[in-house]
Chain A
Amino acid sequence: MIPTLLGVLILLPILGFLANGSIALFGKRADDNRATTARHPLVTLIGPGVILAAFGVAMALFLDMQRAPERALHLVRYGRWMPVGNLVIDWSLQLDQLSILMVLVITGVGALIHLFSIGYMRNDASYARYFAYLNLFVAFMLVLVLGASYPVLFVGWEGVGLASYLLIGFWFSDKANAEAGKKAFVVNRVGDFGFLVAMFLIWVTTQKLDFIGAHAALGGMAGTPVVLAIALFLFIGCAGKSAQLPLYIWLPDAMAGPTPVSALIHAATMVTAGVYLVARAAPIFSGAPEASLVITAVGALTALFAATIALRQWDIKKVLAYSTVSQLGYMFLGVGSGAYTAGVFHLVTHAFFKALLFLGAGSVIHAMHHAYHHTHRDDDPQDLRNMGGLAKYMPATAAAMTLATLAIAGIPPLAGFFSKDEILASVFARAQGSPLANASLLGIHGSTVLYGAYALGVLTALLTAVYMTRMLLLAFYGSNRTGEAEQEMLHEAPAIMTAPVLVLGALTVVGGWLNLPALIPLGPVGMLEHWLEPVVGSSATRLAGAGHLDHTTETMLVAVATTVAVVGIVIALLRYRKPIADKAHSPVDASVLARAYNVDGLVDAIVVRPISAFANVVLTRGVETGVDRAFSAGGAMLSRTAALVGSKLQDGDVGKYAWLLAAGALALLAALTLS
């Protein structure tokens, strides 16, 4: 039964993609009667329908696994993909505790976002194309988390990259959007290179590419340079997909896509694929403590770096984008320090509250856009300076967004508090006496790295509380800056959009119950920890050792985290009390934070411009001209010369023919005699 269900699970979104894609291609053109024909009823049924059905299948699988947890690992082989010599790769899926968790998040949050999209995209001329891409994304994401070997995972990995590219550039008639898609694709390519090299190394070392076989073989080689190299190259792949330093630059630009896409792909699921991969490859990373320290350090630095940028962004989606980069840094802080459960836990809770924040922002942008559209005013519907006081017009959205802001800031007992606290506590616990702390990174003691990462994590928590409260205050509270005439038009989003937001709000409240710490026993303790134990337990122990925090330290850490969150919120409340001017009356914000440290300019100067200069000067003017000369002008010259010689040989002078004949005969004779 499991093989059939798994197959159906992946086939459902693929069928949705095919159906919606056909409607987009062959359906009635949207132009003739715009709003009504664009919203094809079949698309509305199929698009979200298949994802809801997939969620149902995932629930069935989950319940089945729960009945017999000791047999929860299922390997299903559907056929042979690549038999090349002794390299044989199968189309095989692996269902275990980690992958079902990811599947539930993808299909569950995915279904809610699909439902929201019905409202958000209802007037878009490419309604069917939108759902086709969204279904395609879910299909590839499921392949990514269900693949039983690195190559199959890579199929999903590249597939979600494609879907992401298509959806970022969804409104491709605007050049900036198309370029944002291109940028995402190219930057991800850098990470994929690392992933590919890691796969080659795994194959060369172990002659295996399936998770179970390769991990078993590499487990016995812990500490060797080759395992370290594999881990580091894998992490390059993760850093690309999950937007870590220095490959994060594509994610803020990815906000060019429709907002539900940002919620699904660039917050809840695809960008967490890197975190999933580290957890999946935990046996490799735990065999290379240095690599784990690298991940911890990169995660901590990314978290802080992106959080500082988020402090001064004015575009509501940019704030959330940098916030996502920062929270992804947190997840890597967790999985890097061997707290795989904590990292994955934060992945899940983040999927809830960040999807909520993006969908809420979508509702806001939707309302703002309509208001401006109605009065024919050409202003930025995404700029926080044009919002303010929206809580009056959109009470449900405002309530949900406030909840999610408190959650991401780390206020108990919301989901974000538990997951963030667990990451910080785990890092702190491992900083003393664990195998990870005894390793060293570039001469720096592991213990120092971990304490440093903890400090950065706490500082990031403070900044998170500040920038999220700032965003909330600017958008929903204070006085409205949208405009006199526009205020009349601001209204709450339709039920199809608010309902998913409210469901996510509920999940944001109860999400923390998934993995309650022993310190705060509000229900069953450590459910997720227990659930993921068979997958990542041994690897986590290998890095963490037996060390455990005592009760007092743990209470102190919780107190620190909560205090920091409250202080951050208070700072923002004090700082953004005063009314501000709307965008048209504000000077251009040229601060270094608003320009995101000008990293894009730096990349442009270091990478893009040298390459395009090289392309212009050497390739276009040098190589291309040379090749043109050699092959077109040169070819013409060659045939003309040959023609000239040939025609001189056949000018009708029989005497010449005779001479040549005689000379040829002599030459033949000479050759035969002399040899």
Chain B
Amino acid sequence: MISEALIVSAILFVIGVVGVLTRRNAIILFMCAELMLNAVNLSFVALAKMHNVTGHVFVVMVMTVAAAEAAVGLAILISVFRHFGTVDLSSLRTLRG
């Protein structure tokens, strides 16, 4: 039971990583990051069943932080869109290295 949950979690995490690495749309990137967080949450919950309640506590923490982060992140994205007229990250390159 636990191993299946962990496998699902790993798959979700890898999907999230690949999404972050390959996609250029900021909203998609954002959703992929949430996916990674939730994959981790899933493994926390599964492992909490095996060990103790600390895993549950962590999940609550992560969800709180994720909510805050989503709020801040989406706010940034809105002002980015207002400024540049797009949320395509590959076109947001004003730094010249």
A residues with a Cβ closer than 8 A to B are 647-655, 658-659, 662
Write the nearest CB–CB distance from A465 to chain B, whole angstroms: 92
Interface size on B, residues (CB 8 A): 13
Smallest Cβ-Cβ distance to A647: which chain B residue: B97
Known: A648-B97, A662-B20. 10 other contacts (CB 8 A): A647-B97, A651-B93, A652-B94, A652-B97, A653-B89, A653-B90, A653-B93, A654-B92, A655-B21, A655-B24
16 pairs across A/B with beta carbons < 8 Å?
A649-B97, A650-B95, A650-B97, A651-B93, A651-B96, A651-B97, A652-B92, A652-B94, A652-B97, A653-B93, A654-B29, A654-B92, A655-B21, A655-B24, A658-B20, A662-B21
Asked if B17 CB lies within 8 Å of chain A CBs, one says yes
Contact B17 A655 (CB under 8 A): no
B21 touches A659 (CB 8 A): yes
Q: Mark B16-46, 1 if CB is under 8 A from A, else 0.
A: 0100110010000100000000000000000
Q: Which residues of A contact B20 (CB under 8 A)?
A: 658, 662
A-chain residues with CB within 8 Å of residue B93 when the two chains form the complex: 651-653
Q: Which residues of B contact A655 (CB under 8 A)?
A: 21, 24, 89-90
CB of A75, distance to nearest CB on chain B (Å): 77
Taken together as a complex, chains A and B put the C-alpha atoms of A658 and B20 apart, in Å, by: 7
Bound together, the chains give a CA A658 to CA B94 distance in angstroms of: 18
On whether A662 and B96 interact (CB within 8 A), knowing A655-B89, A655-B90, the answer reads no
A-facing residues in B26-69 (Cβ within 8 Å): 29
A654 touches B89 (CB 8 A): yes
What A residues does B17 contact at CB under 8 A? 662
Most chain A CB inside 10 Å of its own CB: which residue of B21, B29, B92: B21
> Please, which residue of chain A has its CB at the minimum distance from the CB of B89?
A654
Interface residue from A651, A658, A659 paired with B95 (Cβ < 8 Å): A651
| Bound form: Cα–Cα A189–B41 in Å | 80
Whole-angstrom distance between the alpha carbons of A653 and B89 in the complex? 8
Q: Which residue of A lies closest to B94 (CB)?
A: A652
Q: In the complex, what distance in Å separates the CA atom of A654 from the CA atom of B25? A: 11
CA distance A648 to B95 in the complex (A): 10
B47 shortest CB reach to chain A, Å:
17
Closest 3 CB pairs of A and B: A651-B97, A652-B95, A647-B97
Chain B residue with Cβ nearest A661: B20
Instruction: Give the CA-CA distance A651 to B89 in the complex, in Å.
Output: 12
Q: Which of the listed residues A648, A650, A658 has the most CB atoms from chain B within 10 Å of its own CB?
A: A658
Residues on the A chain within 8 Å of B90, using CB: 653, 655
Complex CA gap A414/B89 in Å reads 109
Tell me the smallest distance from the CB of B57 to a CB of chain A, in Å: 24
Could you say which residues of chain B place their CB within 8 Å of the CB of A651?
93, 95-97
CB distance from A229 to the nearest CB of B (A): 68
For the complex, give the distance between the alpha carbons of A648 and B93 in Å: 13
- Which B residues touch A658, using CB under 8 A? 20-21
C-alpha gap A655/B21 in the complex (Å): 6
Instruction: Return the CB mask of B76-97 against A: 1 if under 8 Å, else 0.
Output: 0000000000000110111111
Cα distance A652–B94 when bound, in Å? 7
Chain B's closest residue to A665 (CB) is B17
Min distance, Cβ B81 to any Cβ of chain A, angstroms:
15
Q: How far is the CA of A92 from the CA of B24 in the complex (A)?
A: 85
| Chain B residues whose CB sits within 8 angstroms of the CB of A653 once the complex forms | 89-90, 93
In chain A, what residue has the closest Cβ to B32?
A658
Bound complex: CA A649 to CA B29 (Å) = 20
Complex interface: chain B residues within 8 A of A650 (CB): 95, 97
CA distance A658 to B23 in the complex (A): 11
Least distance between B12 CB and chain A CB atoms (Å):
16
What chain A residues lie within 8 Å of B97 (beta carbons)? 647-652
Q: Tell me the smallest distance from the CB of B84 to a CB of chain A, in Å.
A: 12
* B23, chain A: closest CB distance, angstroms: 9
B21 contact set on A, CB distance < 8 A: 655, 658-659, 662
Name B93's closest neighbour in chain A (CB-CB).
A652
Contacts of A654 in B (CB 8 A): 29, 89, 92
Q: How far is the CA of A662 from the CA of B14 in the complex (A)?
A: 11
Chain B residues lying within 8 Å of A647, measured Cβ to Cβ, are 97
User: What's the minimum C-beta distance from B71 to chain A, rounded to whole angstroms?
Assistant: 20
Query: Complex Cα distance A647/B95, Å?
Result: 9
Complex Cα–Cα for A648 and B17 (A): 23
> In the assembled complex, which residues on chain A have CB atoms less than 8 Å from the CB atom of B24?
655
